């Protein structure tokens, strides 16, 4: 939420382990080893296997921890992409549903004037689980407050316009859905909300 109107949003924390991709790599100077039809790829030991989540069996504290992990993971991906000079938010699908990534990309592109660039990402100040009787066993809903203090916005001439943005925090509601492999929560939707959420920002 800035003078240049940007939708509040977020992602969660360091690490629900995503599915482990196994590739065969040759030694330095050699071509990568191609697996043959009879060649068995190594499987990770049990300690490295991604944990399958059972949302209905998890405690409120565990659900909240997974939501924070996803939300922070998304923020981390945004910051890494921006530092690398990228701006394609549709590529950030490790912690989001593709539809959300596409909508977020469209929102960012339409909110920023031509030539404007953003650096940094929002930070989670507080999050609480929302009990919603209409949610099924594969969804989690949270209220959240994020800080915009780490965000920098530059115009087409390279001028830092950050100081023109008066709002340092933003609050809202985020809905997560369980990933197809049931190893992590994915951001499905989010909306601005200001009703009784101020305490999350302290």
Residue count of the chain, please give it: 202
pLDDT for the residue numbered 3: 31
Contact 29, 195 (CB under 8 A): no
pLDDT for the residue numbered 134: 55
E strand or H helix that includes residue 100: helix 98-111
With b for 16 or more beta-carbon neighbours within 10 A and e for fewer, the 81-111 pattern comes to bbeeeeeebeebbbbbbeebbebbbeebeee
Domains of the chain: 46-201 (3.10.450)
Contact 46, 108 (CB under 8 A): no
pLDDT for the residue numbered 178: 95
Per-position pLDDT tens, the chain of length 202 = 333 333 333 332 222 111 111 111 122 233 333 334 444 444 445 445 458 999 989 999 999 999 999 999 999 999 999 999 898 999 999 999 999 999 999 888 888 888 888 888 889 999 999 876 556 678 999 999 999 888 888 888 988 887 655 568 889 999 999 999 999 999 999 988 877 898 999 8
pLDDT for the residue numbered 73: 96
pLDDT for the residue numbered 80: 94
């Amino acid at each position: 939420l800035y003078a240049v109107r940007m939708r509040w949003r977020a992602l969660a924390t360091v690490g629900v382990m995503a599915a482990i991709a196994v590739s065969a790599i040759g030694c330095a100077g050699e071509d990568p080893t191609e697996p043959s039809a009879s060649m068995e790829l190594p499987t990770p030991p049990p300690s490295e296997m991604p944990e399958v989540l059972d949302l209905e069996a998890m405690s409120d504290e565990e659900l909240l921890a997974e939501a924070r992990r996803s939300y922070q993971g998304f923020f981390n991906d945004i910051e890494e992409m921006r530092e690398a000079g990228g701006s394609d938010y549709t590529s950030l699908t490790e912690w989001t549903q593709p539809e959300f990534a596409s909508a977020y990309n469209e929102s960012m592109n339409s909110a920023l004037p031509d030539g404007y660039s953003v650096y940094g990402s929002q930070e989670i100040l507080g999050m609480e689980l929302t009990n919603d009787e209409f949610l099924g066993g594969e969804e989690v809903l949270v209220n959240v407050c994020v800080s915009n203090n780490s965000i920098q916005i530059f115009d087409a001439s390279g001028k830092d316009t950050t100081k023109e943005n008066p709002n340092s925090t933003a609050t809202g509601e985020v809905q997560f859905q369980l990933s197809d492999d049931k190893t992590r929560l994915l951001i499905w939707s989010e909306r601005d909300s200001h009703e009784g959420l101020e305490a999350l920002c302290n």
